[in-house]
Copies of this chain bind each other. A is one copy, B any other.
Amino acid sequence: MAEPESATVDLEIIVQGAQEGKKLELRLWLRMLSTTKLISQEIRRRLRNEFGATLPQFDLMAQLYREREGLRLGELSKRTMVTNGNVTGLVERLESDGLVLRVTPDGDRRVTVAKLTAKGETLFSAMAAAHEGWLRDMMADVDPAIVSELWRDIGAVKSSVSNHLSGADFD
């Protein structure tokens, strides 16, 4: 089914109203997904090359950096949107690298609290600065006004999605 060189591309797509009508949401989703993948891959590559860290580790440390007292694993799971079982292994690896510490509080022995070590804080703050710069660079060609608008409108999407989940809660 090789396509002949004739202009089979529909001209009417150019017209606003003739957007093929349906599937607007589907198209938005596909574009969001591919864009997010693209950015993730770039950040992953740089985190690896420049800091020897992975993206999920970075995400987890970001949460701990905001809460210097540490967080329970369940809290970490919610905030990073990573499953419980996954957090266990993630924290294990970070602990063996000396970046995170695990403590069981006196009051409740069911609980494990994870907390950044000094080494972890130092490393994270370097990574965070670089990370922010990478994003600014990658989005350099986008008008700041558009960036703001996107931030707002994607918020609307997130909120709509949250209200139509089959069985969970939200932000």
Binding site for B on A (CB under 8 A): 1, 16, 19, 22-29, 31-42, 45-46, 67-69, 81, 131-132, 135-142, 144, 146-151, 153-168, 170-171
Contact = CB atoms under 8 A, between A and B. Distances in A.
A168 B138 CA distance: 13
B29 A161 contact: no
A171 B34 CA distance: 9
B161 A45 contact: no
Contact of A146 (B33, B68, B69, B153): B153
A163 B28 CA distance: 21
Interface of A is mostly: helix
B160 A156 contact: no
A4 to B, nearest CB: 15
B23 A144 contact: no
23 contacts: A1-B67, A1-B68, A1-B69, A19-B148, A24-B147, A25-B136, A25-B139, A25-B147, A28-B139, A29-B39, A31-B151, A32-B32, A32-B150, A34-B81, A34-B158, A35-B158, A38-B81, A139-B161, A141-B159, A141-B160, A141-B164, A142-B153, A149-B149
